[in-house]
Chains A and B, each alone.
Chain A
Amino acid sequence: MTLAATSPVCSLSEDIDNSPYISTGPVLDRKICEGIRRRMVLECCKWDPQVEDVSVLQPFPLLLRRSQWRYLAAQAEALAREVCAAEGALLERPDLLAELAVPRRLAHCILRGLQSPQSFAADARVMRFDFHPTPTGWRISEVNSDVPGGFSEASEFTAMMSEHCYGYVPAGTPGPALADALVRTITLHGGGPCALVCAAGFMEDLQVISYLANLLRRRGVEAHLGNPRHLRCDRGKLVMEVGSETVPLSLVVRFHQAEWLSQKSHASIVPYLLGDSDTPVINPGYAMIGESKRLPLVWDDLGLEMEAWRRLLPETRDPREAPWLRDSGWLLKTAFCNTGDSVSSPLTMPRRQWIRAAADAMLFPNRWVAQRRFEVLPIDTPLGLMYPCIGVYTIAGRACGLYGRLSRTPVVTYAAADVTVLVRKETA
């Protein structure tokens, strides 16, 4: 819950540029792109490189000035601090967990985790803030504080593309940075094996933990893949069933949405995986608090300033308190909206789907939020006008890399393409 003390990427005295204008680099040679795609699928666990007719690895980079990166990094670090402050404040107001649409079955575990915070988890706590350029500056749509992904694309794809973009470099390598942080945590807890768990059937999640497992193995860690059903608690410590063996763990990487763990079948492991055990779990269960799109509804009740969040997040209200039905300037999203799947607006979806979403929001308003729409500035890319979303990773509160996506529509969904974001090289 408490972030480790780290020095920020920049200080306010440094050159900072809040301009939301992004440029694009040239399209790389076809052969180079094919080579990059092959390395990504065979070596870097990028197993979903195609969605229908679209290759998701874009052949050109997005380019930022270093001063723009400093701005985004500073904002992400401020947002991360405020998320942690909100988590801490909820300890005093546990009744508000219900307001966040945290499933009742999980609320007790989340509270246990908050009451006995795994201080060691903070060293590898990872979040990703999604920034959108708008005519009035950068806006954020959400924080992926529970199970942020995209590490391979943000690290390996970006590094490969930057080799061909003179004068520009990656802002960071969040995958290796996270692996290093995980290794430090493992070392502090006995240096034993690590388990990485995700939900079955989700190839996009499996590829994330496979990539992280490869990074950990290269660092000498015994890394096992599985799902929560492979874990159990033995005298306060998490262990994993691997074949015929029971392996005691020094760390669990949970790449499994916390809200999906509310199923009865997970009941035996959830108190330890989301709550309190002697084995560190990254991210901890209380990370789902920041993931709730309803968190802004309780800021005032928690007595929090949330300066960066209030400045960057569009106005967010309970659906009962916003005129979304008659004003298309508002959209709806579920409290635990993932990859934009449930972002609903009459302007961007078929009428029948909108009616279905609106009816659900009226019947179950405490599972939804209404949020003011913001206009995303499209950028002129070699493939036409597209809408960018720039994810900024923080690890232990420190900004450490960028993850870009491009969408044909203003709402970035699972079908968005991955694009490298490069930063102008620092001149001496």
Chain B
Amino acid sequence: MTPDEIYEIWAPAESEWSQWVKPVLFAHLPAYGNGASSVDRQEIAAASLPHNDGQSALVLDLPGAMAVQMTGDLVRQRYRPIPLYNSCPPPKSWALSAAVPHFMDGASSGGDPVRRTAVDVVPIIEAIVAMTPVLKAASLPASAPPAFLLDSQRRNVQAGYVRAPGAFDNRSVSLPTDFPSSNFLLSRGIRKIVLITPSQAGPEADLSHTLLRWQSTGISIAGVTTASASGLAIPQPITIRRPPYFRIAWYALMARLGLRPNLLGGFGGVLPESGGVG
């Protein structure tokens, strides 16, 4: 399948949710889309996913490619997966080259293998390619409600990453502008958001900005974790705490600049430089 055909399956013209599909990883399919055959599917019983009552949308904030790997379960419940990955893989030449000299002996101080990329998004690309036939075969109706897919590790560096010249820092943040507004959701009959996370620690700080905006307009937010071995439990209502700098006009810029601690961890005086691009 060509990148264009893959994109068409994930962002079909007939679904109005397609406009929110983030194209970044799809644009990198020509370089990275060939290693997809070995991708595991995340087997979570479809029955344990929140029931599709036509009034709920899902937000899957799960590590790495896990949310994409749940595509089979999502489409069985007639949810349309909407990838919201906003990070680039490193340039191919970067990924293929041998160890960077100043990374010394190939082991980080923590004992993990040295990683030269902060967030490994290649497995996500591979999972997208691997799950494309599954999504295509599902023939979802245009009205299928959305399941927004995120990488919960987007703001964190992977184990073994050494931040040094030559390393590739591709951390990212999720912003309210990445999602439909609450007006749009309500106008399409979406009254409830179910947040699926790997643990009960609560939503990521950046995602809280979006969830709280939705909650403040009457959309109910429920949470469920994937931690249970028996599959997902029943979603429990959650109240989103007001994150720092909520609704400040310059939040988006500040979040990316890293002018405040705890976000990208990197840029702009308070935080050190946040590194590379693709």
Contacts and interface: CB of A to CB of B under 8 A. Distances in A.
B151 interface: no
A42 B98 contact: no
Contact of A227 (B24, B179, B268, B276): B276
Contacts of B86: 203
B236 to A, nearest CB: 28
B177 A42 contact: no
B99 A200 contact: no
B110 interface: no
Query: Which of B20, B24, B179 counts the most chain A CB atoms within 10 A?
Result: B24
Contacts of A51: 177
Interface residues of B, number: 58
B266 A41 contact: no
Contact of A263 (B98, B170, B273): B273
A244 B173 contact: no
Nearest to A197: B277
Contacts, number: 136
Nearest to B166: A241
A162 to B, nearest CB: 22
B249 A353 contact: yes
Contacts of A201: 171-173, 256-258, 264, 266-267, 274
Contacts of B234: none
Contact of A200 (B91, B183, B267, B269): B267
Nearest to B25: A47
A410 interface: no
A243 B23 contact: no
Contacts of A230: 165-166, 276
A197 B3 CA distance: 27
A123 B102 CA distance: 37
A243 B183 CA distance: 46
B177 A227 contact: no
A52 B177 CA distance: 4
B100 A243 contact: yes
Given A49-B23, A244-B99, A198 B277 contact: yes
A232 B177 contact: no
Interface in B244-261: 248-250, 252-253, 256-258
A238 B24 CA distance: 30
A306 B272 CA distance: 40
Contact of B165 (A41, A50, A205, A241): A241
B277 A349 contact: no
Interface in A201-231: 201-203, 205-206, 209-210, 224-227, 229-230
A227 B249 contact: no
A260 interface: yes
Contacts of A266: 273
A202 B256 contact: yes
A206 B277 contact: yes
B173 A55 contact: no
A206 B88 contact: yes
B177 A415 contact: yes
Interface in A331-351: 338, 341-342, 349
A210 B116 CA distance: 20
A200 B166 contact: no
Contacts of B169: 200, 227
Nearest to B102: A241
Interface in B162-203: 165-166, 169-173, 176-177, 179-181, 183-184
A211 B250 CA distance: 27
A226 B277 contact: yes
B180 A53 contact: yes
B278 interface: yes
A34 interface: yes
Nearest to B20: A50
19 contacts: A38-B4, A38-B7, A42-B4, A47-B27, A51-B177, A52-B177, A52-B180, A199-B267, A199-B274, A199-B277, A201-B266, A203-B88, A203-B172, A227-B277, A229-B273, A230-B165, A241-B165, A241-B166, A244-B101
Q: Can you list the 10 inter-chain pairs with the closest CB atoms, starting with the nearest?
A: A243-B97, A41-B23, A241-B166, A265-B273, A200-B274, A201-B256, A244-B98, A200-B275, A206-B277, A52-B177
Interface of A: 30-31, 34, 38, 41-42, 45-47, 49-53, 55, 197-203, 205-206, 209-210, 224-227, 229-230, 232, 241-245, 260, 263, 265-266, 338, 341-342, 349, 353, 414-415
